[in-house]
Amino acid sequence: MDMNEIKEIFFQECEEQLAELESGLLKLNDGDRDPETVNAVFRAVHSIKGGAGAFGLDDLVSFAHVFETTLDCVRSNRLDPGPEVLKVMLKSADVLADLTNAARDGGSVDEARSRQLIKELEALANGEVPQASAAPVEVVAKPVAAVAAPPVNEEGFQPVAFSFDDFEAAEEPPLMETPTYEIVFRPKSDLYAKGNEATLLLRDLSRLGDMSIHCDMEALPTLDRLSPESAYFFWKIQLATDKGEDAIRAVFEFAEWDCDLEISLASDEAASSDEELPMQPVPFDLSILDDEPAVSVGVVEEEEQLASQQLGNAAVSVAGTASNVLQMAQSAARAPAEKAAPAASAAAQGAAGQQAAASAATPTIRVDLDRVDRLINLVGELVINQAMLSQSVVENDTNGTSSINMGLEELQQLTREIQDSVMAIRAQPVKPVFQRMSRIVREIADMTGKSVRLITEGENTEVDKTVIDKLAEPLTHMIRNAVDHGLETPEKRLAAGKSAEGTVRLTAKHRSGRIVIELADDGAGINREKVRQKAIDNDLIAADANLSDEEIDNLIFHAGFSTADKISDISGRGVGMDVVKRSIQALGGRINISSKPGHGSVFTMSLPLTLAVLDGMVVTVANQTLVVPLTAIVETLQPEASAIHSFGANQRLISIRNSFCPLVDVGRILNFRAIQANPVEGVALLVESEGGGQRALMVDAIQGQRQVVIKSLEANYTHVPGIAAATILGDGRVALILDVDAIVAASRGQSLKPEMSLAAVG
C-alpha cells in the first residue's frame, strides 16, 4: 500500500467524517443537546485534523484546528450552541469540506471566506463579540483560560528553546507558581507496533517545561527471553510546566490508546516521596533529535507539526507497516477527544459504544466499484444465458421432461436471487446526497436572504449507486429552484400569513419497485399566468393553445424556460428544469410537478432502483420486438371497435370506462410503418405519462413479461430518440426498450414543439 492509497482512504474517511459532522451539527441545530452529539461533531473535526496532519495538509489542519477549539468550548459548556453559533459552525463545516476537496483534487478554496470564518470561530471561542476577533490567537485564548480549564495547549504552544545554558537553571527547584505534574507513562507494545515512538513523545513532553525522568527497567528480561518488539520500559516523569494538563495529554494524543497514562499534579509530599527515585533531568538541546532542526518560532500549529512528523516518521521508517498511519488516524477518530481522566474517557467510550450499538454498526468492507460492476455484468450475462437455455429447451425438447423443466425453474429462481443480492451490494442510502442538499439550501438561503428550513425524510432509503451519483446534480438544481423561485421573501411570507421561515421538504421512499423522491416547498406555487405568457413569448406554445393546469406546470421543464425576472447567480440561467428533466429521464425516471397557488409546489421524481435490470413487457410492433418498462404500464386491454373514436385529422381516442384517452400508435411514431395500424387488431397498453395524463400505446401483440438486462444504447451504439436502451432476449436477438415518455411527448407534437426529430429506427 503506498502513500497515495493511504491518502485516498483518508479522504474517503474524511467524507464520512464530514457527513457525521454535518448531521451532528444539524441535530444540534434542531435543539439536540446530547453531549454525545457534541462529542461526535468534535471527533469528526478532530480526526480530520489528525489525518490531515499526517499528510501535511496545512490549510486543512489549521482550519480544523480553529474549528476544533471552538467546538471544544461547546463541549465544555463554555459556549452555548445557539442558532447564531450553529450558523457559523455549519458554514465552517462547508469550508472544511471545501478544503478537503481542494486537498484531494487541487481545487481552489474561497480564502477570504475561510479567513472570515476563522475569525468568527475564534471570536466564538473567546466568547466575545465578533469585532474583537481580529486579535491574535494567543490573546484570545487568555480570557477563556480564566473561565475554565484552558485550551492553552492548543493556542499558546510556545516553542521552548533548550540550550545548555538553561541546564543550570533547570536544576533549581521549580518556581512556586509553576505546577509540577507527575506523569506515569506506560506504553503498550502496540504503541511501537503502530510506529509510534516513546522517544519522540518524551521529547515533545520535555519541550513543555522542565522535566526529570526515571526509566523503570524492572520488567526488562535477559536477552534470550526478550521479545524485541514488546514494551518493557516505563517512565515516571516530573514535569514543571505552566501549560496545563491538557498540553501534556495533547502530547500523547496519538498514543493514548496504546499506553497507560497517569497524570497528577504533584503535591509537596508526593514530590518528596518520589525523591528516592533517581530522576534524570532532561533539559538539554534536543534539536539534534529532530528531523528538521530548529523549530520555527511562533508556529501556532506546532503540536500538529510534531504529530505529523511522528506520523510521517512512522510511515517512512516503518517499512511494511505504513498502514499504521491509518490505524492511528482511526484511533484518533475513535478517541473521544475528551482529554479527561481515564475513568471519564472510559465512560465516554461506553456512551459512544451504546450510541454505535443504537445505530447498529455492522462490519463493512470497502470494495472497488469496478469489481462490483464486473460481477453485475457477469450476472447480467448469466441471466441472459439462462433465458437462452430455457428457450432452447422449450424449442428442442417437445416432451419437456418435468425434471429438466423443474431444474430450469430452479435455475431461474436462483439467478434472480443472485441478481437481487448483487444489486443489493450496490444499493446505498440516499443520505449523503440529501446531506449535500442541506448545504445547498444554506448557501442559497444566505444568498437570497431567505430563511429556509430543510426537512429530510427517508434518508436511509437505498438505491443503486449509479442512481445516487447521478441524482445529486438534478436535485441540486431543483433545490436551488425551490428556494430561489419557489419560496417567497420573508416579508411576502409574513404578508401571506405564513411563517417567515420557508420549508423545503425532501423525502425519499420506495414505491412499487422504484424510488420516489419528493421535493416540496411551501412557497407561492407556480404562477401559471406568468408561465403561460412566457411560453407564448418564447414561442413554445401557440397564443391560443388550450392547456390544462398540469400542462402549464410542465412547461417549466422546457429548454430555455426561466420565469425569474432577473437572471440571478443561483438559478434562472435557463439551464434549469429542462436539464433536470433530461437527467432524470436519462436515469429511466420520471418527474412530475404539482403546484397549488399560494401553497407551494411538489416535484415528484420516480426513479428505477437499479439501472442494470428492468421488468418489462415484451411486445411486438410491426414485426419488431420491443420492451415496454412494466412500471409505466397501468393496464393492458384489447380495444373494441366501438371504443375507438376518430378525432381531428389523424388523432384517435379510445374510451375506457367512460373517459377518453388518446391512442398512440407506437409503430407509427417510431416510423416502423407508414400507415396507422388498426387498433382492433392490436393491444392497447395504458400508460401513465409524465404529465400525469394517461395514453394508450398501440402495439400489435404482447409476447410476455420478463426481466431484462439493460444494455446501454448510448454506450454501445448511439442515442436513439424514443428508445431508452436495449436488451438481449433469450433467442439472442436485440430488443429495444421503449422510452415511454418520449413516445408520449412525440405524440403530443401539436401542443408542444417536438422535442426530438424521430429518426427511423429498426
Q: Which is nearer to another protein, 89 or 240 (CB)?
A: 240
Helix (H) or strand (E) holding 399: none
For the bound state, the minimum distance from the C-beta of residue 205 to another protein, rounded and expressed in Å, comes to: 9
Q: What is the Cα–Cα distance from 424 to 421, expressed in whole angstroms?
A: 5
Pairing, β 659-665 against β 694-699: parallel
Residue with cell 518528596: 272
Residue in 12, 264, 317, 638 binding another protein, rule: CB under 8 A: 317
Region from 14-22, 285-293, 422-430, 675-683 binding another protein, contact rule CB under 8 A = 285-293
For the bound state, the minimum distance from the C-beta of residue 183 to another protein, rounded and expressed in Å, comes to: 12
In the region spanning residues 253 to 282, those forming contacts with another protein, defined by CB under 8 A, are 278-280, 282
Q: Which residues fall within 8 angstroms of residue 415, CB to CB, at 6 or more apart?
A: 379, 382, 383, 386
Q: Which is nearer to another protein, 217 or 649 (CB)?
A: 217
For the bound state, the minimum distance from the C-beta of residue 60 to another protein, rounded and expressed in Å, comes to: 28
Pairing, β 501-511 against β 451-457: parallel
For the bound state, the minimum distance from the C-beta of residue 222 to another protein, rounded and expressed in Å, comes to: 4
Q: Which is nearer to another protein, 235 or 561 (CB)?
A: 235
Q: Are 632 and 688 in contact (CB under 8 A)?
A: yes
For the bound state, the minimum distance from the C-beta of residue 172 to another protein, rounded and expressed in Å, comes to: 19
Q: Which is nearer to another protein, 199 or 676 (CB)?
A: 199
For the bound state, the minimum distance from the C-beta of residue 310 to another protein, rounded and expressed in Å, comes to: 12
Site for another protein contains 233 (CB under 8 A):
yes
Q: Which is nearer to another protein, 138 or 190 (CB)?
A: 190
Q: Are 654 and 684 in contact (CB under 8 A)?
A: yes
For the bound state, the minimum distance from the C-beta of residue 265 to another protein, rounded and expressed in Å, comes to: 21
Site for another protein contains 163 (CB under 8 A):
no
Listed residue (283, 337, 452, 268) closest to 69, CA to CA: 337
In the region spanning residues 485 to 544, those forming contacts with another protein, defined by CB under 8 A, are none
Q: What is the DSSP string of 567-581?
A: --SSS-SS-SHHHHH
Region from 221-229, 298-306, 376-384, 476-484 binding another protein, contact rule CB under 8 A = 221-229
Q: What is the DSSP string of 253-277?
A: TTTTTSEEEEEEEPPHHHHHHGGGS
Residue with cell 424514443: 722
Q: What is the Cα–Cα distance from 72 to 387, expressed in whole angstroms?
A: 61
In the sheet with 659-665, reading across from the earlier edge strand, the strands are 633-637, 683-688, 694-699, 659-665, 651-656, 644-647
Report the interhelical angle of 83-105 vs 431-448 (nearest 10°). 120
For the bound state, the minimum distance from the C-beta of residue 317 to another protein, rounded and expressed in Å, comes to: 5
In the sheet with 701-709, reading across from the earlier edge strand, the strands are 701-709, 613-621, 624-629, 734-738, 723-728
Q: Which residues fall within 8 angstroms of residue 321, CB to CB, at 6 or more apart?
A: 193, 194, 195, 314
Phi/psi at 697 (5° precision): -90, 130
Q: Which is nearer to another protein, 45 or 248 (CB)?
A: 248
Residue in 87, 104, 214, 492 binding another protein, rule: CB under 8 A: 214
For the bound state, the minimum distance from the C-beta of residue 229 to another protein, rounded and expressed in Å, comes to: 6
Q: Which is nearer to another protein, 195 or 523 (CB)?
A: 195
Q: Which is nearer to another protein, 234 or 434 (CB)?
A: 234
Q: Cα–Cα distances in Å, from 33 out to 30, 65, 75, 200?
A: 9, 23, 10, 39
Residue in 83, 106, 228, 363 binding another protein, rule: CB under 8 A: 228
Task: Please state the three-class secondary structure of 287-347 as a single string.
Answer: HHHCCCCCCCCCCCCHHHHHHHHHHHHHHHHCCCCCCHHHHHHHHHHHCCCCCCCHHHHHH
Q: What is the Cα–Cα distance from 327 to 330, expressed in whole angstroms?
A: 5
H-state helical runs in 151-267: 152-155, 164-171, 189-193, 198-206, 245-251
For the bound state, the minimum distance from the C-beta of residue 570 to another protein, rounded and expressed in Å, comes to: 55
Q: Which is nearer to another protein, 187 or 336 (CB)?
A: 187
Residue in 129, 169, 297, 319 binding another protein, rule: CB under 8 A: 319
Q: Which is nearer to another protein, 285 or 615 (CB)?
A: 285
In the region spanning residues 187 to 206, those forming contacts with another protein, defined by CB under 8 A, are 187, 192-193, 195, 197-199, 202-203, 206
Q: Which is nearer to another protein, 225 or 366 (CB)?
A: 225
Q: Which is nearer to another protein, 217 or 358 (CB)?
A: 217
Region from 105-113, 224-232, 360-368, 443-451 binding another protein, contact rule CB under 8 A = 224-232
Q: Which residues fall within 8 angstroms of residue 255, CB to CB, at 6 or more apart?
A: 187, 191, 196, 201
Site for another protein contains 162 (CB under 8 A):
no
Side-chain half-sphere of 606: how many Cα atoms within 13 Å? 16
Region from 97-105, 264-272, 284-292, 678-686 binding another protein, contact rule CB under 8 A = 284-292
Side-chain half-sphere of 164: how many Cα atoms within 13 Å? 0
Torsion (CA) 386, 392, 397, 398 in degrees, nearest 10: 110
The mark string for 168-187 relative to another protein (x by CB under 8 A, - otherwise) is -------------------x
Residue in 129, 146, 176, 223 binding another protein, rule: CB under 8 A: 223
Residue in 235, 347, 429, 693 binding another protein, rule: CB under 8 A: 235
Q: Are 509 and 459 in contact (CB under 8 A)?
A: no
For the bound state, the minimum distance from the C-beta of residue 204 to another protein, rounded and expressed in Å, comes to: 11
The residue count for binding another protein (CB under 8 A) is 38
Q: Which is nearer to another protein, 315 or 423 (CB)?
A: 315
Q: Which is nearer to another protein, 52 or 255 (CB)?
A: 255
Site for another protein contains 215 (CB under 8 A):
yes
Site for another protein contains 222 (CB under 8 A):
yes
Binding residues for another protein, per CB under 8 A?
A: 187, 192-193, 195, 197-199, 202-203, 206, 213-215, 217, 220-224, 226, 228-229, 231-233, 235, 278-280, 282, 284, 286, 288-289, 317-319, 321
